Structure formats: C-alpha cells, structure tokens
Amino acid sequence: MNKPKNRQTTNQIIAKEGFKPTLLCLVLILFFILLDLYFFTLLALALLVFVIISFRNTERIPESRNQNAIISPCDGVIKDVFINNDKTSLLIKINIFDNGIFRIPMYIDRIESIFKFGLFIKDNNKELKEILNTKHSIKGIKNNNIVFEITLLPEFWNKVSIYEVDSAFIGDRLGFIKYGYLSLCINKPSKLKISRGDNVFAGETLLGRLL
C-alpha cells in the first residue's frame, strides 16, 4: 500500500512537488550572479521559467458538476478508448508541459491506492510495460463499490504523489504525475463525449456521464 502524503498541493501557484526544483534554480541564479557569470545566469533563469511552467498549479472549474458527470482526471491527449460491455477504459498521454496535477474524475466516498516499483520502459509492448514498469493504482469507491480505477504509469522518473483526500468531491486534487500515461477505467455503464486524439484538461473537460 502506498501511503498518501499528508502535505498536498492546494491553491499554491506552484505545486509542492516543484518547490525544491524552484529553490535550486533560485540558488543557481544567485550563485552565478555573485560570480559575474551572466551567461549561466540566463541559462538558470530559463530553467526557472521551465520549472514554473512544468509545475504550475492552475485552478480548474468542471464543465459539469452533475452527480453522473465524468471529468478528465489529468491534462493530456486521449490515446486510446476501450469499451467492453459495461466497462470503459481511457488511456491519456501526459506530456512534459502538461499540468502535472491529476484530479478526482467523479463523485466517490473514498480512495484506495497501491504502488508497484518497477522500470520505465517506453517500448510499445503493452504486456511488457504492464509487467515491468512502475505503476501506481488508485481505486475510487462509492457505496462500497469500485466505480473507477486510475493507473499511473510514469515514463521518465518516479515523481508521483498521491494525496491524502479528506473529501471526495469531483475535481479535487488527487495527486501529481509528470510525464507518462494515465489509464482511467470506469466500472459502470457510461456515455462518452470525447474520442481518440482529443486534448483534455484535468478537472475541467467533461469526458461523459454515467448512465
């Protein structure tokens, strides 16, 4: 079981996961200024801008707060859509400049999370990646039933946080992932409004609704 973090990002301008990189950039800028290394100062300043953009924490308002609404849990591009009887699965690619905060996609009572340590294979072999790669899984539970499952598959580093959520309100911040894939499995009959190739935004884009 992966214990959720007590300290979570709320409404800060930068996600807490970006505090250390931001501080490091500021120290480098000051260091290079003291040594009159202005070229390296500009490089460190550019790095600071990159870090701020990468770890930005924007406020999001869902397109719908209906009890049956399903909103996007993360920023990214819909890579695949799988529908099997009453289950629907979405695979979302999260790029380096996408907002790293992921959110609760629908109304639930509580969450459970599981962590499996592994590698960061980028091969197209899905079975190989499923077996060997690092994986974080989150289950959304309502009325003692698992209504959705989120699987986080980082592809560059294991920079994934899962927050301790007191309430399970749709659109609330659930954690942080930087670069990789997010798989959302909906375990109830649903109707989607999006398709493969669409850009989606965490806590904002309406993916569909439960039937």
Q: Which residue has the tokens 């999006």?
A: 194
d(CA 205, CA 164): 24
Q: What pLDDT shows up at residue 45?
A: 94
How many other β-carbons are positioned within 10 Å of the β-carbon of residue 133? 20
d(CA 168, CA 111): 8
Q: If you average pLDDT over every residue of the chain, what do you get?
A: 82
CA-to-CA distance for 69 and 81, rounded, in angstroms? 18
Question: pLDDT tens-digit profile of 42-55?
Answer: 999 999 999 898 88
| pLDDT value at residue 173 | 87
In this prediction, residue 14 has a pLDDT band, given cuts at 50, 70 and 90, of confident
pLDDT (tens digit per residue) in 124-146? 555 555 555 566 788 888 888 89
Sketch the domain layout of the chain as residue ranges: 69-210
